[in-house]
Amino acid sequence: MPPKRGKKPPPKRVYERLPENSCWIENDAYDRRVYNYLRSESPSLRELEDAGTTFLPHFGSLLQDIFSLLFKYNVIFNKASDVLASALLNEKFLNGIRHGSQYDFLREQTLLREARAGLSTLLLGERLLALMKTEKLLTRRDLRDLWDIQKQEEIVSEKLEEYENADTIPEENLSAEGKKALQKAKERLGGEVQGAEALLRHKTTQLKEDLKDTEAQTTNRLQAEAIKVAQELEDATEEAEAWGSTLGTAQRSPPGQKLELGKRLAGNEKLKKLARMVGRMKFHAMALRKKVFERSSEEVLEVERGDSVQRLLPHEMIALHHPILRKDFHRRFLHQELLQYSLRGVEEKGKGPMIVCLDGSSSMAGDKEIWSKAVTLTLLEIARRQRRLFRSICFSSEQTPLQILDLNPREHYEIKTKNVMDLAEYFPGGGTDFQKPLDAALECLQQSRFKKGDIVFITDGECQVSPEWAEQFRHQKEKLGFSLFS
């Protein structure tokens, strides 16, 4: 038999390394690793870096410096002689951020906290970019001068490389004329290097003089933006924790995922209101499920997988006597993979996958939208606890494409936070059509992994459907054996 092929490891994300001589704040290998990990895991941070680089040279290095300014315990600035002149403006921005009481308040929230420092870097970077686009920090002339300085640095680097290459040519194999020609070439290259360096110094000095007039104004604007970011950060952190408890995601999220979640929550009033309503609904729903209802007698039907200790097969208990098998027992218990008896009784239905069709028409705007999505996310939490697959289908008019999301698609039914946020923010508006979402739900139920699922249909209105379609839907309902709750 051919050997089994193992799963291929996920492809590593490749990101361009930032030049070290463009950073103003000293950073070690750990600082760079933490920030580069955030860069690789956060699409928003990479998009900001790409957008900012079109305006300002070394904008990516500026973002890393802002991160270091907020994250590092000891912040030490490099000497000006060790940093490229084209990164001159980055120092002005960093000094503007760190001067004032708002920096201490912001730093209290971000010190040695990579996710919070990354989110602050993202929010500050976006505000800096917006100010540059509106020319409230720099004029077009200042930006053009910075790009000219960077171009001059490249010229100096090329001249130095040519001069150093000329020094490596061995003279013992050259004739007298060849030696003279080589010496003249070295003198010419040396003169070109000195001229290029002198021009670079002149342009740098001129830019420093031009920036002195606007330095105080720049500092005031940056301090005001830092205050706003500190407020947004505090709100976003609280809301992220609220969403974490709302969605039942008790596991530790990667910093990059926390950064993306915080960015979407910062300043979004609709999501804040939705989180509060979901919290209340979930509390009442969980309390209701804990009530003891009168049940009829049940009988053993078949063997299934689960974590119900009172219904385990006898041989599963034997594993507890063996030190190694006991660990495997605990693992399978946590993953609900132990063999147990399946009982047939009253609650045969309502234990399969859930498909929720959510009305996103214009009439649902406002409190109805918040309420309907709170119901959807409460059902998602119940599905997660009961290890049931959950798919949402958001619909409106016939011409509007459906938003179809699997909210807990993974092996252990973990909730996919990004998909939940996409559902919470999406609202198409428009008219109402029932046939399109119900056809998509039927398609879903015909898949093997959604077998024995049910449909929950959330809407505030009515819709005309053709008699032929209604008859076909009833036929499929009887054939597949699902229930439709609305």
**pLDDT (tens digit, 9 = 90+) per residue, 386-409?**
888 899 999 999 899 999 999 887
Which is higher by pLDDT, 2 or 485? 485
What is the tens place of the pLDDT at every residue in 86-108?
888 898 889 888 887 788 888 88
* pLDDT value at residue 171: 65
Question: Does position 188 have pLDDT exceeding 50, yes or no?
Answer: yes
Question: Does position 250 have pLDDT exceeding 50, yes or no?
Answer: no
What is the tens place of the pLDDT at every residue in 115-162?
889 989 998 999 889 888 888 877 888 888 888 888 888 888 888 887
Percent of the chain at pLDDT exceeding 90? 18
Query: Of the spans 155-164, 200-209, 242-251, 466-475, which averages the highest pLDDT?
Result: 466-475
* pLDDT value at residue 379: 87
* pLDDT value at residue 12: 46
Scanning 247-268, the segments in alpha helix (DSSP H) are 255-265
- What is the SS3 assignment for the chain? CCCCCCCCCCCCCCCCCCCHHHCCECCCHHHHHHHHHHHHHCHHHHHHHHHHHCCCCCHHHHHHHHHHHHHCCCCCECCHHHCCHHHHHHHHHHHHHHCCHHHHHHHHHHCCCHHHHHHHHHHHHHHHHHHHHCCCCCCHHHHHHHHHHHHHHHHHHHHHHHHHHHHCCCCCCCCHHHHHHHHHHHHHHHHHHHHHHHHHHHHHHHHHHHHHCCHHHHHHHHHHHHHHHHHHHHHHHHHHHHHHHHCCCCCCCCHHHHHHHHHHHCCCHHHHHHHHHHHHHHHHHHHHHCCCCCCCCCEEEEEEEECCHHHECHHHHHHHHCHHHHHHHHHHHHCCCEEEEEEECCCCCCCCCEEEEEECCHHHCCHHHHHHHHHHHHHHHHHHHCCCCEEEEEECCCCCCCEEEECCCCCCCCCCHHHHHHHHHCCCCCCCCCHHHHHHHHHHHCCHHHCCCEEEEECCCCCCCCHHHHHHHHHHHHHHCCCEEC
Question: Does position 412 have pLDDT exceeding 50, yes or no?
Answer: yes
What is the tens place of the pLDDT at every residue in 26-50?
998 899 899 999 988 888 899 999 9
**Whole-number average pLDDT of the chain:** 81
* pLDDT value at residue 174: 65
pTM beyond 0.85, yes or no = no
Which is higher by pLDDT, 298 or 480? 480
* Distance of alpha carbon 331 from alpha carbon 114, whole angstroms: 31
* pLDDT value at residue 65: 94
Q: Please tell me the number of Cα atoms within 13 Å of 190 on its side-chain side.
A: 8
The mean pLDDT of 426-452, rounded to a whole number, is: 90
What is the tens place of the pLDDT at every residue in 193-213?
788 778 888 888 887 787 777
Of the chain, the end-to-end C-alpha distance in Å amounts to 53
In 3-state terms, the chain is what percent helix, strand and coil (to 5)? Answer: 60, 10, 30
Residue recorded with tokens 């709302």: 246
Residue recorded with tokens 């309503």: 277
The mean pLDDT of 172-189, rounded to a whole number, is: 72
* pLDDT value at residue 411: 64
Confidence of residue 69 (pLDDT cuts 50, 70, 90): very high
Closest of 17, 27, 149, 28 to residue 89, by C-alpha = 149
Question: Does position 2 have pLDDT exceeding 50, yes or no?
Answer: no
Question: Does position 365 have pLDDT exceeding 50, yes or no?
Answer: yes
What is the tens place of the pLDDT at every residue in 278-336?
766 766 666 655 554 444 456 667 788 888 888 888 888 888 888 888 898 888 888 88
